[in-house]
Structure 1
Amino acid sequence: MLPTEHRLRRREDFATAVRRGRRAGRPLLVVHLRSGATDPHAPGESALPVRAGFVVSKAVGGAVVRNLVKRRLRHLIRDRLDRLPAGSLVVVRALPGAGTADHEQLARDLDAALRRLLGAPAEGEGTVPR
C-alpha cells in the first residue's frame, strides 16, 4: 500500500502534474512527472514528499480490473519513490492494454517511462554526432 503522505488526492495537484510536468508514454501507461516542488508555507521543511496519483478509466476494464491495475501501480510506484526527486508530483495514467497486462509488463513500462523522465539515456541516446 502507498503511504498516505505519498498519495496525490487534490484535483489541482493532478492538473499541475499533467499540465506543467514532463510526459513519457509507453504502450501500457503514460507517466506525468512534475519535479521537486517546495512548500513556501512550511518553515523548516525544504521539500514535500513525493506524491503519486493514478488515473484508470473504464477503457481499461470493469471495476474489478481497474482496481487490480490501481493496486499493481501503487505497489510498483511505492518501490520507486526513492528514485524520484523530493517534492515531485507523479501521475500514472493506465492505457486500455494495462487491464490485460501482468505485473512484470507494467513494471517494465513504468521503469522505462521513469528512466526517460529522469534523464537516464536509453540505448542509442546520449551521444552527440560530430
Structure 2
Amino acid sequence: MLPSASRMRRGYEFADAIRRGRRAGRPTLVAHLNVREADEPPLVGFVVSKAVGGAVVRNQVKRRLRHLMRSRVEALPRGSLLVVRANPPAASARSEHLAAELDVALDRLLRRRGSGSRTPTDGRS
C-alpha cells in the first residue's frame, strides 16, 4: 500500500491540487498535479464518487489506485500534491489497463511541468 506519510488527508490540500494544479484526463481517471515550493514529500489523494459504484466497488477502486501509486510516488517532485479521481469505467477496468492509464496521465503531467512556462499568445509582438 501507499505509505501513510504520502497520503493526502486535508480538504484544503485536495482543493489546492484540483484548483491550482494541472490536469490530465483519461477515460478511467483524471489526475491533478500541483507542485508547491515546499521541501516535503509528495502527497497523493484519491476521489472516487458514487457514480463509480457502491461502497464495496468504490473501496476496491481506491485500494487498486493506492497500490498502483505505491511504486510511482517516487517519480513525483517534492512538495507536490496529486489527486487521482476515478471515473465510472475504472470500476470494471483491469488492473493493467488502470496502471497504463495512470502512467499516461502522470507522464503527461510531469512532461508538461518540465517543458517550462508557456508564453501568452495575445497577438502582440
TM more than 0.5: yes
CA positional deviation for 1:4: 1.3
Unmatched tracts of structure 2, length 5 or more: 113-125
Output the TM-score relative to the length of structure 2: 0.87
Corresponding position of 1:125: none
CA positional deviation for 1:67: 0.6
Q: Report the AA paired with residue 34 of structure 2.
A: R
> Does the CA-based 8 Å contact 1:51-1:89 persist in structure 2?
yes
Corresponding position of 2:4: 4
Unmatched tracts of structure 1, length 5 or more: 39-46, 121-130
How many equivalent pairs are there?
112
> Does the CA-based 8 Å contact 1:18-1:91 persist in structure 2?
yes
Pick aligned residue for 2:79 from 71, 75, 87: 87
Corresponding position of 2:24: 24
Matched-pair identity in % = 62
Q: Report the AA paired with residue 22 of structure 2.
A: R
Corresponding position of 1:41: none
Counterpart-to-counterpart distance in 1, 2:37 and 2:99: 26
CA RMSD of aligned residues (A): 1.0
Q: Structure 1 runs of 4+ off > 6 angstroms?
A: none
Counterpart-to-counterpart distance in 1, 2:37 and 2:4: 18
Output the TM-score relative to the length of structure 1: 0.83
Counterpart-to-counterpart distance in 2, 1:32 and 1:87: 14
